[in-house]
Structure 1
Amino acid sequence: MTQQEPASEQSPAAGRAEQGGELPLLLTVQLPDGARFPVRALRREKASPGPAPAVLILPAMGTPARYYRAFAHQLHAEGLTALTVDLRGQGESTPRVTDAAAVEHGYGTIVEHDLVAVVDAIRAELGPEPPLFLLGHSLGGQLGLVHAALGIGRGVDGVALVASGSVWFRAYGRLRGPLLLLGQLFAAAASTLLGRWPGVRLGFGGNQPKGVMRDWARQGRTGRYSATGSSRDYEAALRTLDLPVLAVSVEGDTWAPAPALDHLVGKVPGARVTRIRYSGQEAGGRLDHFAWTRAGGALAKRVAAWAGPGGS
């Protein structure tokens, strides 16, 4: 069973509404293996018509949830309940990847256990009426889409992919693709040899358990999503997904170019996909794989329109 722990006291930042300020702690989810996931939120009780939709932001690989605070405030300003949570071992979540006692994990733990527990806890806290959407950046988008497709737990009402895409090397062209593949093979081998991926030291992906890097590299090599030790067929599940999907390509994003997003979205032929391109002109500033989070006001309006009544 999953233990849901409501916040025992108001966050020191709960009274601050300034752009980019810390989000109040909504609850902490604890799993049977001891992993803990603080969920932070800016709540909206009502929208017109009906309850305010909720959007849970899932971070990119090695990126802490606090990185998305400004964008969460922008989503909230557009009438949404905005929530953030760290992926296992990152940011505020525990155990840390650098903890010698940390349990090894990969994609399967995240999509079949962690996200199930977090989504169920949020559903219980917000009640049955507000629709709940996942908004995933990069790896967060990939894993959010797989989780939604598996249909485990209370489920979600749709998935937004922002600066996200498959890391299949063939989606990156004849020049970049082979280099990406070499990097993926190196990451898998180094993680196996060292016991974990020292991404902070190497400048890519943050510190990660070897299981995550092996699963990431396998998907990059084969183009198929799977998880070591899982009996579930992720690719078959993706083919059956029939939820709304918002697929956002970002101008200047070389880490998740349009062909990579095409490959990812192509895995969900039954989904109701809305494709948009977020440009620097619309954002009012230069964009890349991460810069959109600091210039996300116009994108927040697009997400709110998609998540609202009649939008998705």
Structure 2
Amino acid sequence: MTQPEPVGALPLLTTAELPDGTRLPVRALRAPAPDRFLPSGSGPAPWPPPAPAVLILPAMGTPARFYRRFARQLHDEGLTVLTVDLRGQGEATPRATGPGAPGHGYRAIVEEDIPAVVAAIRAELGTEPPLYVLGHSLGGQLALVYASLTKPGGAKPGGAGVDGVAVVATGSVWFRAYGPLRGPGLLLLQLLITAVSAVLGRWPGSRLGFGGDQPKGVMRDWARQVRTGRYSGKGSTLDYEAALATLELPVLAVSVDGDTFAPAAALDHLLGKVPRARLTRRHYAAQEAGDRLDHFAWTRTGGALAKWVAAWAATPGE
């Protein structure tokens, strides 16, 4: 029996299916097809280029449906907008905890899932529209790692890459980037998460108020980055840090007023890993948003930010 669509859901575009049975539904608002224009004089009529497409990758434990309003604001700016849940979250199956739960970490997300999602999107949209990934928090961190592994001439674990990455309210979670007051607390938090995840085989973040329900592997890789400042995925043969250092794609980095989860120093540390990226850096202030902002609230008042993303996608790296 077909399940009814969730109220307010974006239309389903496609579903990326992995060999291990993981299914990642991709929802989309497609930009209208460009009108053909007839130039004066003779000769064939050229077609305007297709609208850029932007794939939103969520924060840890945050379902893709959380970004519906921002997706519609991006669509209002003429973009094709796509959303997908991280493995085990939201509509993705199997769930992160419970029977059949995947015991995955960063490696599966950046080397298997995102490449499969991008391939599924390319199969639907074609290869002509520029495709960008916009990641929030953990989604932004993993988007940069994925893009660095799939750039032309790179490791390419899953096929063709994307044309650029935007990160919003994102930063490295290295404890030293949080200063002498908050850094030790972050170290204690990762110790607690590591211990609980080891005992239970999962992290019950919905009950404990951080990160949502997660498999042990994701929290293990997250905690390692807290301690060391370096990105890696257990079981991977790829050097994520070396790949990041060679990334040359356009990157839009947007910090947000009131964001205590991704302060400026944390974003600085993350961007320091991609010194060759064609970087555009902006700060989204409450005055521009017209409302209070924090690590999550920007998604509700993202109209001005959507204009920035659209302008950057039209001329990335300029």
TM-score, normalization by structure 1: 0.92
1:175-214 map, 5 Å: 175-214=181-220
* Aligned amino acid, residue 213 of structure 1: M
Distance in 1 between residues matched to 2:162 and 2:102, nearest whole Å? 27
Q: Offset of 1:283 from its aligned partner?
A: 0.3
Distance in 2 between residues matched to 1:205 and 1:149, nearest whole Å? 25
SS of the residue aligned with 1:240?
Answer: coil
Aligned to 2:277, which of 249, 271, 274? 271
Aligned to 1:215, which of 213, 216, 221? 221
Q: Offset of 1:101 from its aligned partner?
A: 1.8
Distance in 1 between residues matched to 2:75 and 2:306, nearest whole Å? 9
What's the counterpart of residue 53 of structure 1?
Answer: 52
What's the counterpart of residue 32 of structure 1?
Answer: 19
Kept after mapping to 2: 8 A contact 1:253/1:289: yes
Deviation sequence 1:95-147 (CA, Å, 0-9, x none): 10122222310000000000010001101110111000000000000001000
Aligned to 1:280, which of 263, 286, 289? 286
Kept after mapping to 2: 8 A contact 1:123/1:154: no
Give 1 or 2 for the bigger CA radius of gyration: 2
Kept after mapping to 1: 8 A contact 2:105/2:234: yes
Aligned in 2, Cα 1:58/1:310: closer, same or farther, shift over 3 Å?
closer
Deviation sequence 1:134-183 (CA, Å, 0-9, x none): 00000000001000000121100000000000000000011001101110
Unpaired runs of 5+ residues, structure 1, are 1-8, 14-19
SS of the residue aligned with 2:245?
Answer: helix
What's the counterpart of residue 120 of structure 1?
Answer: 119
1:90-101 map, 5 Å: 90-101=89-100
Identity among equivalent pairs (%): 73
1:49-88 map, 5 Å: 49-88=48-87
Aligned in 2, Cα 1:310/1:169: closer, same or farther, shift over 3 Å?
closer
Q: Offset of 1:287 from its aligned partner?
A: 0.1
Distance in 2 between residues matched to 1:102 and 1:311, nearest whole Å? 40
Does residue 249 of structure 1 match 2:255?
A: yes
* Aligned amino acid, residue 141 of structure 2: Q
Unpaired runs of 5+ residues, structure 2, are 36-47, 151-155
Q: Offset of 1:188 from its aligned partner?
A: 1.2
Aligned to 1:307, which of 301, 310, 313? 313
Q: Offset of 1:311 from its aligned partner?
A: 6.0
Kept after mapping to 2: 8 A contact 1:250/1:289: yes
Aligned to 2:174, which of 161, 168, 175? 168
Kept after mapping to 2: 8 A contact 1:45/1:51: no
Kept after mapping to 2: 8 A contact 1:25/1:40: yes
Distance in 1 between residues matched to 2:77 and 2:34, nearest whole Å? 10
Kept after mapping to 1: 8 A contact 2:279/2:317: no
* Aligned amino acid, residue 299 of structure 1: L
Distance in 1 between residues matched to 2:281 and 2:131, nearest whole Å? 20
Deviation sequence 1:274-302 (CA, Å, 0-9, x none): 00000000000000000000000000000
Does residue 293 of structure 1 match 2:299?
A: yes
SS of the residue aligned with 2:109?
Answer: helix
Q: Offset of 1:184 from its aligned partner?
A: 1.0
Kept after mapping to 2: 8 A contact 1:47/1:79: no
